[in-house]
Amino acid sequence: MKVLLLGASGRIGRRITTELLDRGHAVTGVSRSGDVDGIDDPDFETVAGDATDAGDVAELAAGHDAVASALGPSEDEDVAALVEMAEAVVEGVREAGVDRLVWTGGAGILEVAPGVQLVDTEDFPDEWEPVARAAIEAYDVISAAEDIEWTYLAPPAFIEPGERTGEYRTAEGELVADDEGESRISMEDFAVAFADVLEDGTAVHTQLGVGY
Ligand SMILES: NC(=O)c1ccc[n+]([C@@H]2O[C@H](COP(=O)([O-])OP(=O)(O)OC[C@H]3O[C@@H](n4cnc5c(N)ncnc54)[C@H](OP(=O)(O)O)[C@@H]3O)[C@@H](O)[C@H]2O)c1
């Protein structure tokens, strides 16, 4: 598969790039500078592009089998940039005639009990709330695109660099937590789940929570 990966230079994006390359896919990695440090592979090409610009996305997406996103707003940027990116990516993907979009979302949207989203729980950290709400708004943009085969893959509450075990569980619309109530995954295993969803063409038109 030939995949355009937006956000390839990010913490999660670099792990998704590595996982896809290890599986034999060709990856075009996008960052604003055009640089993605630390990945050297004949099937990996890096390009510069602005994910808030639908024209850029359309031009870059053309000729790819799928568009993947590990986009996030920079620390010095308003979180609303994430919603702008979702709008531009949907428009660009549509313009390029690419059918498949897999988006790295946020855990805040996931339900912890029927009708209760993680972002609305008492213990949800205040400092995470703005980006969590922006990620939910991005979901609203993506989920309105019925003509695109989108999947919104949401990490668990905690996702950190770690080990690739190849193990994970998923739940549609729900936060995945273990028996002790811990909701976490390594970025490497999130990348495994991401690549599986992309390869299998499953979980179309849904939000899928991932975790151990
Ligand atoms: N528990 C959770 O819910 C949870 C936890 C962690 C992360 N996440 C979400 O997962 C996503 C990825 O997280 P991360 O930690 O890997 O983020 P990150 O390291 O900050 O990476 C963000 C990526 O987005 C790219 N980007 C930002 N603005 C762009 C633009 N206008 N055009 C093109 N590329 C742009 C950056 O590229 P350049 O800066 O190089 O251009 C970078 O590759 C985020 O949406 C984040 O909110 C969720």
pLDDT for 16-45, tens place per residue?
999 999 999 999 999 999 999 999 999 999
Q: Closest residue (by CA) to atom 28 of ligand 1? A: 73
Best substitution site from 31, 60, 83 to test ligand 1's pocket, by max atoms within 8 Å of Cβ?
31
Mean pLDDT across the stretch 126-134? 97
How crowded is residue 58: how many other Cβ atoms within 10 Å of its Cβ?
19
- Put the strands of the sheet holding 149-154 in their side by side order: 44-48, 26-31, 2-6, 66-69, 100-104, 149-154, 206-211, 169-172
Q: Which domains does the chain have, with CATH numbers?
A: 2-211 (3.40.50.720)
* For the CA of 85, the nearest atom of ligand 1: 31
Pocket of ligand 1 (CB under 6 A): 6-7, 9-13, 30-33, 49-52, 70-72, 74, 104, 106-107, 131, 135, 155, 157, 159
Distance 93 CA to ligand 1 centre (A): 19
Q: What is the per-residue pLDDT for 127?
A: 96
List b or e across 177-197, with b for residues whose CB sees 16 or more CB atoms inside 10 angstroms.
Answer: beeeeebbbbbbbbbbbbbbb
Q: Closest residue (by CA) to atom 8 of ligand 1? A: 106
Distance 194 CA to ligand 1 centre (A): 15
State which amino acid sits at residue 127: E
CA 6 to chain centroid, in Å, comes to 9
Q: How does residue 135 score in pLDDT terms, banded at 50, 70 and 90?
A: very high
Distance CA 186, CA 55 (A): 34
Q: What is the per-residue pLDDT for 48?
A: 98
pLDDT for 72-94, tens place per residue?
999 999 999 999 999 999 999 99
**Measured between alpha carbons, how far is residue 189 from residues 18, 87, 113, 156, 165 in Å?**
12, 28, 25, 11, 6
Q: What is the per-residue pLDDT for 78?
A: 96
CA 12 to chain centroid, in Å, comes to 8
Q: Closest residue (by CA) to atom 36 of ligand 1? A: 7
Mean pLDDT across the stretch 95-114? 98
Torsion of CA 113, 119, 122, 128, to 10 degrees: 150
Q: What is the per-residue pLDDT for 5?
A: 98
pLDDT for 166-195, tens place per residue?
999 999 999 999 999 999 999 999 999 999
Q: How does residue 114 score in pLDDT terms, banded at 50, 70 and 90?
A: very high
Distance 82 CA to ligand 1 centre (A): 9
Distance 8 CA to ligand 1 centre (A): 9
Measured in residues, the chain has a length of: 212
